[in-house]
Structure 1
Amino acid sequence: MKQTNSLEKEQKINQLLKSQPAGTVYLTSWLTKNGFSTQLLNRYKKSGWLYSIGTGAWMRVGEKPTYQGAIYALQKQANFSIHIGGKTALSLLGKMHYLELNTQQIVLFGSSNENLPTWFTNYNWGFKVIYYSTSFLPEKLGIQSLEENMFNLKISNSIRALMECLYLSPKKQQLLECYEIMEGLNNLRPKQAQDLLEQCKSIKVKRLFLYIAEKSGHSWFKYINLESINIGKGKRSLAKNGVYIPNYGITVPKELAEYE
């Protein structure tokens, strides 16, 4: 009877693991929800079915974890809002001339109440992972799916990704580069931009986005309803000895203001 029960368990976990794409990381929390205790998982480890890549995370023996498989697990198994964002998202969407991975880093964003688990941050992915925890935009707004290395991942669309870049500016992201990205967004959907601008909680991001959008001269900008976007009051300085833009109450770097 014990042998039959053990065989059923083996068949069950085999089916469960096969239900996910190859290279998926398996979270202990997800496995236990599906009927596999930590004790049982350790038994599978001894039997050569699974191996641990850190506390709370497992892999099938014979497979190596990928960052895509790790993000997939966080999104699908843990229901995190953590997603590929900023310049990495723009690169994967073909909106930049080079892939962010070429600079040996990827950028992730998640809600202010979410942190990357220790197993993720401690694992050597072969490049730097930069994670920003913030709720300046709603979790699901401006998020799309992208097929990446067999995984269907949640990723920022080009508008949200640019706003994430602006959120990091000017200290962690050059404003001139943000403008160059904006120049390439000539087919942007004004309704998507409108929704994100109206629900964005960062005054800095909204002012900068509207300024570089207007400066870029794209035809879609005239469809943006500025009256329904709250850009706050008072002046904001984003550069020393910069140029003041009265329409948006911001001081920007001289090289951006004079860029043509």
Structure 2
Amino acid sequence: MSISSETKINLLLQDWPLGTVSATSWLNQKGYSNQLLNRYKKSRWLESFDTGALRRVGDSVSYEGAIYTLQHQLALSIHPGGRAALSLLGKAHYLELAQSKVDLFGAEKEVLPAWFKNTDWGIKLDYHQSSFLPAEIGMTEVTVKSFSIKVSSAARAMMECLYLATSSLDLVECYQLMEGMNNLRPNSVQQLLEQCNSIKVKRLFLYMAEKADHQWVQYLTIEEIDMGKGKRSFVKNGSYVSKYQITVPKEMEKNGKQTL
């Protein structure tokens, strides 16, 4: 191996966080040809992760390490959201709820690379392509091992949970999550609600926040939020809430904060 190629691999490994992969397309753009990458593999510096991606020899990569690659190398907005984001934010109250699967969110036209989809990450991953919230707002960074990734903030994660809710049980669980959201920043919540294009999410979010008696609700400017028109029914045989023109599970409307 020539001195130049040794120097290049050293430079590459210096900026390559443990626990992550590198996309071959990104490496090519950085001046690492497929021929050079093959030489690195033969020299046991790198190994194939899947078609289109490489990792350090012997390194263990979790789905978070792949998210790092999607965000930092492929410039995708794909991120852990909903309950998974709450777990990554260190909200111990939500850990059990997040263990069975991870919900990933991305823009409508963002596609997961084949190497990501073909890998068994040891946990169920559901990918949701949606533009109900702009990609750039309500995000925060968390450190995982030796790298950082963007995940939904608590407020955005709560809205993502509501977006995915399809049953009475889902909504009751969402309310239980909302009960723990007592320290959200009103300015961030206001921005998210104003730019959210899901009437369902906005009405349910405000209804639940108000029912949970969170103090930050009083600092929101509700008239600046487009709540849509007409009634919305989210469950069958539920209870109607006239203020928000929504039908919610009976057990949610009937019971108070302490008994739900």
Amino acid at match of 2:164: L
SS of match in other structure, 2:18: coil
Query: Which residue pairs with 2:93 in the alignment?
Result: 97
CA contact (8 A) 1:83 1:154 kept: yes
1:71 and 1:83 in contact (8 A); partners too: yes
Partners of 1:68 and 1:149 within 8 A in 2 = no
Deviations 1:140-161, CA, capped at 9 Å, x for gaps: 1000011122221101000000
| Counterpart position of 2:149 | 153
Give the superposition deviation at 1:30.
1.3
Identify the residue that residue 134 of structure 1 maps to in structure 2: 130
2:107 is the alignment partner of 1:111: yes
Measured after TM superposition, the shift of residue 172 of structure 1 is 9.9
What letter is aligned with 1:254? K
Change (3 A) 1:73 1:58: same
**What is the match of residue 220 of structure 1?**
216
Q: Which residue of 1 aligns with 2:242?
A: 246
SS in 2 for 1:81: coil
CA contact 2:87–2:98 (8 Å) conserved in 1: no
Q: 2:83 aligns with which of 68, 83, 87?
A: 87
**For 2:16, which of 8, 20, 27 is the aligned residue?**
20
CA distance in 2, matches of 1:48, 1:172: 53
Give the whole-Å Cα distance in 2 for the aligned partners of 1:173 and 1:132: 20
Aligned counterparts of 1:136 and 1:68: Cα–Cα separation in 2: 23
Cα pair 2:84 2:102 within 8 Å, conserved: yes
Structure 1 residues 147 and 111, CA gap change in structure 2 (3 angstroms): same
| TM-score relative to the length of structure 1 | 0.93
- For each residue in 1:64-104, what CA deviation from the matched residue of structure 2 results, as whole angstroms up to 9, or x when unmatched? 22222111111111111111110011122233524258734
In structure 2, the CA distance between the partners of 1:61 and 1:94, relative to structure 1 (3 Å rule), is closer
Partners of 1:204 and 1:242 in 2: CA distance: 15
Unaligned 5+ segments in structure 2 are none
Q: Which runs of 5+ in 1 are unaligned?
A: none
Query: How far apart in 1 are the matches of 2:175 and 2:98?
Result: 21
Task: Give the equivalent residue in structure 1 for 2:43.
Answer: 47
Residue 62 of structure 2 contacts residue 121 of structure 2 at CA under 8 Å; is this kept in 1?
A: yes
Give the one of 177, 183, 187 matched to 1:181: 177
Q: Secondary structure at the match of 1:75?
A: helix
Letter in 2 for 1:217: D
Structure 1 residues 31 and 172: alpha-carbon distance in aligned structure 2, compared to 1, 3 A threshold: farther
Q: Is the 8 A contact 2:105 2:128 kept in 1?
A: yes
* Cα gap change, 1:100 to 1:51, in 2 (>3 Å): farther
User: How many residues are treated as equivalent by the alignment?
Assistant: 256
User: Alignment partner for residue 164 of structure 2, among 145, 164, 168?
Assistant: 168
Taking the aligned partners of 1:257 and 1:170, their CA distance within structure 2 comes to: 17
Q: CA RMSD in A?
A: 1.7
Which position in structure 2 is the counterpart of 1:205? 201
